[in-house]
A and B are shown apart, each in its own frame.
Chain A
Amino acid sequence: DSGVTQTPKHLITATGQRVTLRCSPRSGDLSVYWYQQSLDQGLQFLIQYYNGEERAKGNILERFSAQQFPDLHSELNLSSLELGDSALYFCASSVERTGNTEAFFGQGTRLTVV
Chain B
Amino acid sequence: AQSVAQPEDQVNVAEGNPLTVKCTYSVSGNPYLFWYVQYPNRGLQFLLKYITGDNLVKGSYGFEAEFNKSQTSFHLKKPSALVSDSALYFCAVRDLGNTDKLIFGTGTRLQVFP
Contacts and interface: CB of A to CB of B under 8 A. Distances in A.
A98 to B, nearest CB: 7
Interface string A63-76: 00000000000000
Interface residues of A, number: 25
A58 B2 CA distance: 14
Nearest to A55: B99
Interface stretch (A11-19, A40-48, A77-85): A40-48
Given A42-B107, A105-B44, A108-B43, A98 B100 contact: yes
Contacts of A100: 32, 49, 51, 94
B102 A42 contact: no
Interface residues of B, number: 23
B44 A97 contact: no
Contact of B100 (A6, A58, A99): A99
A97 B100 contact: yes
Contact of B45 (A2, A42, A43, A45): A2
Contact of A45 (B32, B103, B105): B103
Interface string B32-69: 10101000001111100101000000000000000000
A99 B43 contact: no
Nearest to B35: A102
